[in-house]
Amino acid sequence: MIMGIITTGIISFTLISINIGFVSNFLVIWLKSWSMAYIAVIPVILLVGPIVQKLVNSMFKEAVTRQYDS
């Protein structure tokens, strides 16, 4: 969850600053975008996260197994 806050904050800040620049209401636009991104990403983290974790575990398990088999 903390990684989601940090990641969505950085990405939304970067994209908004590139696309519209530092306009007078930048902070309001950024906070709205950040909150919407965070709400969207939490279900993705909860649903996709375990699948990605299993994939990474299996990849590293195979790499470690191959290292010791050699």
C-alpha distances out from residue 24 to 1, 17, 32, 44, Å: 30, 12, 15, 32
Looking at 1-70, list the stretches that DSSP marks H as alpha helix, in order from N- to C-terminal side.
Answer: 2-19, 26-69
In angstroms, the CA 14 to CA 28 distance is 15
* Average pLDDT of span 29-40: 94
pTM for this one?
0.65
Domain span at 48: 2-69
As for how many domains the chain has, the answer is 1
Which residues, other chains included, contact 66 with Cβ-Cβ below 8 Å and sequence gap of 6+?
A: none
pLDDT tens per residue across span 42-65? 898 889 989 999 999 888 886 666
